[in-house]
Amino acid sequence: MLFRPPIIIRRIFPSLIWHFSDQEKGLFLTFDDGPSPEVTPWVLDQLDKFDVKATFFCLGKNVEMYPQLYADIIKRGHATGNHSYSHIKGWGMDTALYIADVDTAAEFIHSNLFRPPYGRIGPHLAKMLSERYKIVMWNVLSRDYSRSLSGKRCARNVIRHLKPGAIVVFHDSVKSAQNLWYALPLVLRAIKDRELECKVIEL
């Protein structure tokens, strides 16, 4: 059960951003697949409670449906990134169609950050998208979406890997809600107890 990407994958894609090595105390919480009216407002309240900022990699279709919720993310001081319009897979899909989907999302999400859904992206596609976006991956995956993973296990494995420069992935989606509701407050408390500082991703 992988919570960190294999080193070989990171070596194949050295131009992608997997972590930030220049941080003494800073780390980077990120949330994928939102905004979701069932989950995102709770996430925002938790982040406010702990005085933490994060980066939300949003789906264009969700921003189109819930523009006020997207605006609230920005109003509360968080950053946003493009996570495609329709959560497409980057393997086995026509390159032009994939890029068109990302560009459609960019009509609603004004950011130079992009994270490929499922982390699936090939070298050619990565090269093309890198001409317009900073591609942000991660080095700590919560796997909060997993039906076979408990909230306790999710929290424990994230907390174990909390280090300066880490990019941590959660999901503000209905599918991930049960584990997220359990794990996120524990992770935020651990961040505060370790005197780490959550930062937004700005490139």
Please give the positions annotated as active site: 32, 171
Cβ pair 2, 169 in contact under 8 A: no
